[in-house]
Amino acid sequence: MSEMRLHDAAGHRLYLNAEERAAFLAVARRQPARDRTLCETLHFTGCRPSELLEITPARVDLSGGTIVLRSLKKRKDAAGRAMIVYRSVPVPAACLDTLNTAFDLREAQKSRRQANAPIWPLSRVRVWQIVKRIMIEADLPDAPQRSPKGLRHGFGINAAVNGIPLHMLQKWMGHAQLSTTAIYADAVGKEEQDIAARMWG
């Protein structure tokens, strides 16, 4: 299994920095409801596109302020049997309000069929195309971080910069090992300067 990294072999950053994340979100919020909510959910949960596509109205807790995601990386229990792991990720109330308004989630949650139907019935390729188009429109550089994976890594970096404990970030990102999550504590560039400024301040 390849080790997760924040830079490629040529030293290029693989995550969106704070400025790029803000630019992406600003453009996403000008999109039609489907694309806006898709991008906001990726931005605020740090989920993988394949995990996003499994989100149903039943997995959105409007009163609790969370979205429940199924971790799609394979896990095994102590006996070696495959496990299904779910995680609950807190998201801003405004994100949930937009989701509810766009898809009438409260009403959908009343019907078992609607409650368990995917909110975004799209392919992973289509999600990738939507995210990439919005990143280009946001004038993000044509570099390795301009991808859904860059958005996910940006979520991890942002959480680490803002002091989220690694064990909590591990849960939110669905990592099996804390050592995987720990790469975000090794933030660099502007993010590292922000951490250092807090130490010196």
- The pLDDT assigned to 74 comes to 63
Phi, psi of 75, deg, nearest 5: -125, 155
Q: What is the DSSP letter of 117?
A: S
Q: How many Cβ atoms from other residues are within 10 Å of residue 68's Cβ?
A: 17
Distance CA 145, CA 41 (A): 18
Distance CA 173, CA 156 (A): 8
Q: Is the pLDDT of residue 2 over 50?
A: no
Distance CA 91, CA 47 (A): 12
- The pLDDT assigned to 8 comes to 84
Q: Of the CATH numbers 1.20.1090.10, 3.30.420.40, 1.10.443.10, 2.40.30.10, which one belongs to the domain with range 18-195?
A: 1.10.443.10
141: helix, strand or coil: coil
pLDDT band at 183 (very low <50, low <70, confident <90, very high): confident
Average pLDDT in the 160-186 region? 87
Distance CA 111, CA 97 (A): 20
Q: Which amino acid is at 113?
A: R
pLDDT digits (tens, 9 = 90+) for 103-144: 999 999 999 999 999 999 999 999 999 999 999 999 999 999
pLDDT band at 58 (very low <50, low <70, confident <90, very high): very high
- The pLDDT assigned to 60 comes to 98
Strand 82-90's sheet: what is its strand order?
Answer: 60-61, 66-76, 82-90
Q: Is the pLDDT of residue 169 over 60?
A: yes
In Å, how far from its chain's centre is CA 119?
16
pLDDT digits (tens, 9 = 90+) for 63-93: 999 999 998 776 666 676 777 889 999 999 9
Distance CA 107, CA 114 (A): 9
Percentage of the chain modeled with pLDDT above 90: 69
118: helix, strand or coil: coil
Q: Is the pLDDT of residue 189 over 60?
A: no
- The pLDDT assigned to 90 comes to 97
- The pLDDT assigned to 177 comes to 86
Distance CA 8, CA 31 (A): 31
Hey, where are the domains in the chain?
18-195
Distance CA 90, CA 67 (A): 7
In Å, how far from its chain's centre is CA 58?
19
Distance CA 63, CA 130 (A): 29
pTM for this entry: 0.88
Asked whether the beta carbons of 96 and 60 are under 8 A apart, the reply is: yes
Q: Strands 66-76 and 82-90: what pairing? A: antiparallel
Between 5-19, 52-66, 67-81, 91-105, the lowest mean confidence (pLDDT) is in 67-81
